[in-house]
Structures are given as structure tokens and as C-alpha cells.
A and B are shown apart, each in its own frame.
Chain A
Amino acid sequence: MRRVIHRIAALALAVCLLLSLAACGAAGSGTGKYPFRTVRMIVPYGANGTTDLVGRKLGAALERALGVSVVIDNQPGASGSLGCRAALDAPRDGSVLLFAADSLGTQRVMGISDMSYDDFDPIYTVANDIKVIVVGKNAPYETIGDLLAAIEAAPNTVQMAYTGPGGSGHVQALIMNEFGYYPALTAYSSGADGIIAVMSGQVVFTNANYSTVADYLDAGELRLLAVCATERMEKYPDVPALSEVMAGSEALLSIPYTPLSLLVAGGVPDDVQAMLRSACEEAFRDSEFTEFMDSNSIEKLYEKYPTVEETRAFYREWESTVCWLMADAGATVYSPADFGIARPAA
């Protein structure tokens, strides 16, 4: 009996040792040749939001492509600015990547931080997770028409969850404002929290990213009212696109509002950036990754903007449209002109 216990103890010790060796490996990054043994990918939002989901999938695919482990590091808070700041503060050797959402383009005018896309070098713009309007299963609104009528009838009383000033939910609300619909906004720290708020009846609806609610729609916990785009989704041919019910909104709704991009801090060596780009290209061919993108109806922006130049041009256009949209609504702290952001050509 004693001997058995000793053996088990010895085995446990051996495993502990192995564990710690692995830990040393994790700590030993930053030396030697790129890619280091671990690459940290900062996701500036909480677990299970759309940025997190796509980031994790891309991280897994990159891991296979690079042959080193890619650790996802959720650093949520302050409209994503905390995580972006952490990525800028990290050593600029490619050991830290940033998987940013759209808020990076609006933080300056919102007075949240002085960062923008210019502080980073794009590796790839990866995905646009389509925005959808969802209500709880017990909500009295059966169609998007019902909901819009209710919002119009009583401005600033129908509750909508969003992810804070400058986030993509805020932009969606502003687009609704343009057409005379004024929902009452309450901030939640992540898209997932906003969904919980809808399910528990704290708010009436939210503008969620499709992939984060797909499971809830299947389970019947949430009801899909509209797709915030100009086209219907293949999976839900009966659910209207928002442009169908809000006449004249086509131009505003055709822009990808949640561009998720893989970035590194400006100044990361060119050869590292090139290596990351080719790893990304390999990841985009990864069947597990493409399957995920397809099954969740996520728009593949890397096909739309395949080069760095096109990506930068896209960021400039995006910044200009969204920032001026918010500025004209009086929702920004500073004018986009202060940062040299030109008004979009009409």
C-alpha cells in the first residue's frame, strides 16, 4: 500500500515538474528568433464577445500556422482602450498582437484616449460580424416594425443595451437617431453582458453581433427582428434587412461597422510583420477557421481588403464616416477635424 502511495506521489511530482518546465517555456519568450515560444494576443474585450470569439478562432489557426502557442489575453474595459494601451506598452518585437474591434477608430473624438489606427500597423483586417437586432423571447415585439413604432411613439424610453460610448452599438443607435428613432441607452461592459440584459428583461433589445447570439436564437431564448445591413441573411430569409424598413439608410448600412483587425504596435520589425501576414494567409485557408466564419455568416474582410494599402485606405474611410456621423449627432467630445479626419465626400 505504502509503495503504491509513493509511486503515485512520484508521478504527481513528475507531472508538476513537467508543468513547471512548460511554464518556464512560457516565461522564456522575448529571446531568440521570431516566432517566440508563446505569442500573446490581446483581446480588448471580455470573454465571449464577438471580438473574443473570432480572436480565439484566429488565434487557434495562427497557432497551427506559426507552430507556437498563441495565448489569448482578455483585457476589457473603457471601450477597449485599456487593452489597446497594453498592446502599445508591450515590447515592440511581435510577441504581443492586438485583435482590435472598431472602437480604435473613434476613441480620439470620444475623448477616451489619444490612440487611433495610426499608432498600429495592420496585419490584416479579418472579419465583420454582422449586427442584428434581437429581443427576448417574451418581448411584445414580433417584427422590427413593432419595435420601431414603439421607439417612435415614446422617444428615449425603449431600453437598448450597448457597449459604451464610441462602440459599435453606439454607432448603430446613432444611425437609428438619423431616422428619428431614439432608444434609451444603457452601457454594459461587453456584448455578452448586453445579451444577458436582454434575456433577463433589463433592457428591451440590443444590437448584437450575429455569432454571439446564434446559439440563443437556435435555443429560442432570443428573437431575431432585423439584420443591420442592406441584405438579408441566407439562414433567415424571412428576417428583413434594416434598410428595407428604414428608407434611405442604404448608404449608412452598407459599411462594415464591426471590422475586427489583427494589428501590431507601430514599429514592429518588417520581417516579423511579413511573417505574421503569411501566417494569417495560411490561417485563412485553415478549414476549421473558414468553417467557423461561414457557419456564423461572418463577412471575410480579408478578401475585400487583401493588401496593407487597401486596409489603411479602408480605415481612413471608416474613421471619416463614423466619426463625422457621431460628431454631427453631437455625441463626440472633440471634432474629428481636430485630428485631421476629413468629412466624407457626400
Chain B
Amino acid sequence: MDLFAGMLPYFIDLRFVLLCFAGAAAGLFVGAIPGLSVSMATALLVSLTYTWETADALAMIMGVYVVGVFSGAISAILINIPGAPSSVVTTLDGYPLARRGEAYKALLYAAVYSFVGSVFGLLALGLLARPVTALALRFQPMDYFLLSLFGLATVGGLSSGNYAKGLVSALLGVFLALIGLDSVVGTPRLTFGIAPLMAGIPTVPALVGLFGFAEVLSAVAEGTADGALGTVRREKIPFRTLRKELPRALYYCTIGTLVGALPGAGTPVAAFLAYGEANRIVKKPSRPFGEGAVEGIVASESANNACIGGALIPMLTLAVPGDAVTAIILSVFYVHGLQPGPTFLMRNAASFHAILAGGLLGSVFLLLLGLLAAPRISRVVAVPRRILLPLVTVLCVIGAYACSNRLFDVGVMFFFGVLGFFLRRRGYGTAPLTLGLVLGGMMDANFRRAVSLASTAENPAAALFLRPITMTLLVLTAATIVLNIPGVRRAVSRLREKRSA
């Protein structure tokens, strides 16, 4: 109850609400334009809000953060360019929906369930920060590695018909992530003497290429540049239909919050895992997954927004940022003389309440802005493709360039676009590659750490695996892989038929 009493003054403080709204509006704008990221916007805000009161700064930053994570879905749905890794999963079903002329529906679901996810994550932050921290602390390096592997094993089966092909794509992603200076010894690895590669493959240009540019090339190949992407139908969706996904969404939110609380795992993993679960638990999706199932959008958007609250937990209680944006928010704290850590929640209750209040207000603005913007923005798909495709290409180029002002990144975008085009054509899927690219570095570091820790133990195998979390993840990963082997798959379905007969 203290919690709500603590937040109340902020809810009725007009200045706080307005600043939060301003942040939300900026977040909507920044998140929806490929190449502008939420972390970039927060970084700018930090220098702007330097002289402000702490609460004012937090209001604006939380507004940007919450709405920015959602609005990545807008470009993902409308033009198949995920603005950030977290919205990659949204493209899988969102873009097909837009092509069917149901962009409005896709955006509506994205907005509503992003709202649900944000509120869920923030409430978890408010009520369960301590237990979640304790749980996150139980994760060992091996567990981080296995969690990533589990994510890759799941996604390999989702976005392409052939499991082996999906895994090849994921593997390629991990391989590409290893390029650059090694994080432990500091020697160049797999750079083949190309100097700009020392810093590694930049993620956002690669994403823009894999999705946006590859889509342009595919459309050109099909030769269907006449006509529009889709017509815009504004069908009315009754609240009762919209509400139906709520129970499952809460499950995705739980996944999102937990994964968000693991430092370094971050939003894309949460979205992928939730999507994998959706594939498992939704028996009769409105359309097959990958062809425009709203259930897929619900999974992705509720999980990635629930990550916000999750990522803030270790940032506040351990001073370890869960993702790029929280790392920047952390610096806001230092600038304002606050020291996150185990005693933060007790010592700085006022700031804690300001964060929660800002986040919850931001969620409300997310819903408002999302519902207001969806019908207007969804008209984009009605633009004839022969005009839209060139524009999307220019956006891809700018988006790749804007991240760090290097022409090299535009080259990366181009390379990944062509790569993505061929991967898709041959049924390998680009989503597994994305996840591999995002997770590869973490997998490498944690695997070596785990081996290093175990190498000095009396029984190395026991030190590696004999822990409840590790065993669970190991079994889950192994089961996912085995059950997806074609032979086993056939045997299982035969068994099922027998039983039902």
C-alpha cells in the first residue's frame, strides 16, 4: 500500500504528467523511425535533463523508454524493418498481417498488449524486486549459455519449415557475432585483417539489412511492384475478442519480466522465447504462425514490454543494467547523485516511486498514442509499392548510417540484405540469424567462464551441470532439439495418431 501512496503525488502532479507525456511522444517518434533507437534518445536526454530535478528527468526518460520499446513495432509491422532487436519477432506475424491489409489490427493488438506487458513488468518491479533479484542471482554462467542455446533451439524450429536449416541460420548468426576483438584476452578474432571489423558486426545495420533491404529485394524478385502492399481495412474489433488473449499474455509477461531481469539477456530473447511458447500453447491460432497470427504479435509485444520492468530490477537492486537503455538510465542516477545497489529501495524510496509512476503513466500514454496513431499510420501500406520500395531503401541506408555515422555500416547493411535475401529464398529464415547475432558474444563469454570455473573443481562435469536451473535448461534444450529431428517428429505424430484412433 505504501507503494501506491508513494506514487500518488506523482500521478496528480501536472508537471510530472506533462513531462512524461512529452517523453512518450518523443519515444513514439524515435522508436518508429528505423535507425533512431531508444538508447540513442535516452542518451540525448541524459545530457538535456542534467540540471533538472531528479523526478522530472525520470518522468521524461521513463516515457521515452516505455513508448519507444512499443513503437519499434510500428515500422516492424508496416515496412518489415525492426527498429531494434526487440521488435524482430513482431515482424514475423505483423508484416504478413499488414500485407493482408490488416495493419490496423496488427497495430491495435501491438499497442494493447504492449500496454499489458509494460504494466505487468512495472508491477513486478514494484512488488517483487527482491525475490526476482534473488532468483536472477542464482543464474550461473552455464545457465546463461544454456538459456541462449535454448532460445536458438526454439527459434530454429519456428521461422523456417526445415529445422536443420533454421539451426544453420542461427549458427551463422553466432559465428558472425564472434567477429571482433575477443572480450577476455583482447586479441582480434576472425577479422581477417579488416580493421573496421575489430569492433564487431554492428547489430542495427545488420538488422535493417536482414529485414528491410532483404524484403525490398524479395519484392523486386517477385516482380509485383505494381499495386500496393495491401489495402487498408479498418475492421472493428470488439473488446471481447481483444481481451481473449489476456490469460496467455500474462504468461508471456512472466517470461519477459524474468528474462529482462537477467543482466545481458535482454528483450530479444524474451520476445523469441515467448513466441516459441505461443507456438506451443496456442493450438488453434487465427492464422498459422508466420502468416499473420495475432497471437504471435501478442506474445512478442507483451514479452518485450514486460522486459522494461524486469531490466530495471537488477539495475536498481544490484546496479547491473539489464540492457543498453537501463545502462544509460543508470548514468542518470549517478548524475543526480543516486547510488543504486542493495540499499537503494530503502534509502531512495522517492526516486523508486517516481520511476514506477513515470513508467505506469508512460504505459497509459502508450495505449492512448498507440490507439490514436494506429489508424493514421497504417495508411502507409496503401502507398503503391513502386513508390514505397525506393523510399524504404533510402530509409535502410540512412538507418544503417545514423547509428554511428560510418559508411562501413551501410556496407554491412547491404551485405546482410543480400545474405537475408538468399537465406529466405532457400528457406533458412532470418530470425534465427538475428538471435544468434545478438546472443553470440554472451554465449561465448559465459561458456568460457563456465568452463574456466569448472576446470578447477574436483568433478568438472558436476560443477558444470549439477544444479537445478542448469539441469532444467539442459533438459529443455535437449528435448527441443531431439523432438525437432524429422525422424523423431514422425514417430511422435504416429504415436499420437495411434492413441487417438
| Interfacial residues, chain A to chain B (CB-CB below 8 A) | 8-9, 11-13, 15-16, 19, 22-23, 26, 38, 47-48, 53, 56-57, 60, 63, 69, 71-72, 74, 77-79, 81-82, 107, 110-113, 156-157, 159, 164-165, 184-189, 192-193, 196, 199-200, 202-203, 215-216, 218-219, 221, 288
Sort chain B's interface into a size bin. 35 or more
User: Contacts A47-B331, A48-B320: A22 and B47 contacting too (C-beta < 8 A)?
Assistant: yes
B342 engages A215 (CB within 8 Å):
yes
Mark B189-205 against chain A: 1 for CB-CB distance below 8 A, else 0: 00000000001000000
A-B contact sample (10 more), CB < 8 A, given A63-B50, A71-B46, A112-B185: A12-B21, A19-B44, A19-B45, A19-B48, A53-B334, A71-B47, A82-B186, A157-B456, A186-B453, A202-B140
A47 engages B330 (CB within 8 Å):
yes
* B141 close to A (CB within 8 Å): yes
- Give A77 Cβ to nearest chain B Cβ, in Å: 5
User: In the complex, what distance in Å separates the CA atom of A193 from the CA atom of B185?
Assistant: 17
Which 5 A-B pairs have CB atoms at the shortest separation, nearest pair first?
A78-B186, A215-B341, A12-B25, A15-B22, A219-B342
Hey, which chain B residues are within 8 Å of A156, CB to CB? Answer: 456
Mark B299-335 against chain A: 1 for CB-CB distance below 8 A, else 0: 0000000000000000000111100000100110011
Partner among B22, B141, B184 whose Cβ is within 8 Å of the Cβ of A12 = B22
Hey, which chain A residues are within 8 Å of B337, CB to CB? Answer: 288
- Give B44 Cβ to nearest chain A Cβ, in Å: 5
Most buried by B among A72, A188, A218: A72
A202 engages B453 (CB within 8 Å):
yes
- Give A291 Cβ to nearest chain B Cβ, in Å: 10
Hey, which chain B residues are within 8 Å of A107, CB to CB? Answer: 186
A-B contact pairs, 24 of them (CB 8 A): A8-B21, A19-B48, A23-B44, A47-B321, A48-B321, A60-B334, A77-B186, A78-B184, A157-B456, A157-B457, A157-B458, A164-B186, A184-B455, A185-B452, A192-B319, A193-B320, A196-B320, A200-B137, A200-B139, A200-B140, A215-B319, A216-B341, A218-B343, A288-B337
* B339 close to A (CB within 8 Å): yes
Hey, which chain B residues are within 8 Å of A81, CB to CB? Answer: 181, 186
A47 engages B327 (CB within 8 Å):
yes
- Give B29 Cβ to nearest chain A Cβ, in Å: 7
User: Contacts A48-B320, A159-B453, A186-B452: A16 and B327 contacting too (C-beta < 8 A)?
Assistant: no
User: In the complex, what distance in Å separates the CA atom of A156 from the CA atom of B334?
Assistant: 38
Nearest A-chain residue to B263, judged by Cβ = A196
Hey, which chain A residues are within 8 Å of B141, CB to CB? Answer: 202
User: In the complex, what distance in Å separates the CA atom of A324 from the CA atom of B343?
Assistant: 41
* B187 close to A (CB within 8 Å): yes
* B277 close to A (CB within 8 Å): no
User: Contacts A164-B184, A200-B137: A26 and B339 contacting too (C-beta < 8 A)?
Assistant: no
Interface residues of B in 180-238 (CB under 8 A from A): 181-187, 199
Hey, which chain B residues are within 8 Å of A60, CB to CB? Answer: 334-335
* B445 close to A (CB within 8 Å): yes
Hey, which chain A residues are within 8 Å of B45, CB to CB? Answer: 19
B50 engages A69 (CB within 8 Å):
yes
Partner among B43, B46, B186, B341 whose Cβ is within 8 Å of the Cβ of A219 = B341
User: In the complex, what distance in Å separates the CA atom of A50 from the CA atom of B193?
Assistant: 34
Hey, which chain A residues are within 8 Å of B18, CB to CB? Answer: 11
User: Contacts A72-B331, A202-B141: A78 and B182 contacting too (C-beta < 8 A)?
Assistant: yes
User: In the complex, what distance in Å separates the CA atom of A146 from the CA atom of B455?
Assistant: 23
- Give A113 Cβ to nearest chain B Cβ, in Å: 7
* B287 close to A (CB within 8 Å): no
- Give A7 Cβ to nearest chain B Cβ, in Å: 11
User: In the complex, what distance in Å separates the CA atom of A179 from the CA atom of B44?
Assistant: 50
A186 engages B449 (CB within 8 Å):
yes
B29 engages A16 (CB within 8 Å):
yes
* B149 close to A (CB within 8 Å): no
Nearest B-chain residue to A60, judged by Cβ = B335
B181 engages A78 (CB within 8 Å):
yes
Hey, which chain A residues are within 8 Å of B320, CB to CB? Answer: 48, 192-193, 196
Hey, which chain A residues are within 8 Å of B43, CB to CB? Answer: 71
Hey, which chain B residues are within 8 Å of A22, CB to CB? Answer: 44, 47-48
- Give A208 Cβ to nearest chain B Cβ, in Å: 13
User: In the complex, what distance in Å separates the CA atom of A96 from the CA atom of B263?
Assistant: 29
Hey, which chain B residues are within 8 Å of A79, CB to CB? Answer: 186
Hey, which chain A residues are within 8 Å of B321, CB to CB? Answer: 47-48
- Give B43 Cβ to nearest chain A Cβ, in Å: 8
User: In the complex, what distance in Å separates the CA atom of A110 from the CA atom of B182?
Assistant: 14
Hey, which chain A residues are within 8 Å of B335, CB to CB? Answer: 56, 60
B342 engages A16 (CB within 8 Å):
no
User: In the complex, what distance in Å separates the CA atom of A149 from the CA atom of B113?
Assistant: 57
User: In the complex, what distance in Å separates the CA atom of A47 from the CA atom of B330?
Assistant: 8
Hey, which chain A residues are within 8 Å of B181, CB to CB? Answer: 77-78, 81-82
